[in-house]
Amino acid sequence: DAKTTQPTSMDCAEGRAANLPCNHSTISGNEYVYWYRQIHSQGPQYIIHGLKNNETNEMASLIITEDRKSSTLILPHATLRDTAVYYCIVRAMNSGNTPLVFGKGTRLSVIA
Amino acid sequence: NAGVTQTPKFQVLKTGQSMTLQCAQDMNHNSMYWYRQDPGMGLRLIYYSASEGTTDKGEVPNGYNVSRLNKREFSLRLESAAPSQTSVYFCASSELRVGNQPQHFGDGTRLSIL
């Protein structure tokens, strides 16, 4: 699976959009971009994933650049409960059920 | 809908004691995983079970054993606990089918070895 680079930490004002970047410049054509988050003292929570098209669900939007070398997770209206560590993971389409590889992630602090 | 349930939530052991961590999922997933997370670090895979009846080692299997009891349950056993095994343990599950399926995690077992 390709390596990802994320900022160590970010702040966001409550009610504003949180934009979390991820660089995956070595991504290959059959690799998906996944986002998970981990709120303090809880297990990781799946957020969203995509291959090359932008994706949106009830939690967030995922914007993938045309060259697929980077992506941005957008939380449209951040709340205090969105304070967490966010992990960007790149994974091959045919990974089957091999385990996820979590890096250090971005610690997002939502500030009132 | 409970998802992935882990028991116990907290446990303190003495060095050398044995213990089994339990995990059950109610999503009819084929694959299950055990991870550990140490302070300030990402998750590391201990063992996983791609489907009922199979288990495979992950990144850090030493000192652990697993049992895939049935499709729902996947247990992790420490035969002789060591202080280095103090950690938070997470169980996860996912579907087994073509393409990438997200993993769903329990809320963890916090284990301290004295």
User: Cβ separation of A87 and B90 shorter than 8 Å?
Assistant: no
Q: Nearest CA to B79 among B67, B64, B90, B93?
A: B64
Q: Nearest CA to A47 among B103, B31, B45, B91?
A: B103
| Chain A contact set for B94 (CB, 8 A) | 97
Task: For residue range B70-114, list pLDDT tens digits in order.
Answer: 999 999 999 999 999 999 999 999 886 555 678 899 999 999 999
Which of B103, B104, B110 is the mutation pick for testing A, counting most A CBs within 10 A? B103
Q: Is the peptide bond before B8 cis (omega within 30 degrees of 0)?
A: yes
Give A13→chain B minimum CA distance, Å. Answer: 24
Q: Kindly state the average pLDDT of the residues A41-68.
A: 93
Q: Kindly state the average pLDDT of the residues A83-101.
A: 80
Confidence of residue A30 (pLDDT cuts 50, 70, 90): confident
Question: Percent of chain A, pLDDT > 70?
Answer: 92
Task: For residue range B8-51, list pLDDT tens digits in order.
Answer: 999 999 999 999 999 999 999 988 999 999 987 778 899 999 88
Give B50→chain A minimum CA distance, Å. Answer: 6
| Chain B contact set for A44 (CB, 8 A) | 43, 90, 92, 103, 105
Query: What's residue A89's pLDDT?
Result: 92
Query: What's residue B98's pLDDT?
Result: 53
User: Cβ separation of B100 and A34 shorter than 8 Å?
Assistant: yes
Query: What's residue A92's pLDDT?
Result: 79
The span from the CA of A31 to the CA of B77, in Å, is: 34
Which of A97, A98, A106 is the mutation pick for testing B, counting most B CBs within 10 A? A97
**A44 phi and psi, to 5 degrees?**
-60, 145
Query: What's residue B112's pLDDT?
Result: 96
A88 vs B41, more confident: A88
Confidence of residue A38 (pLDDT cuts 50, 70, 90): very high
Q: Does the beta carbon of B94 lie under 8 angstroms from any beta carbon of chain A?
A: yes
Query: What's residue B42's pLDDT?
Result: 78
Q: Label the pairing between strands A70-75 and A18-23.
A: antiparallel
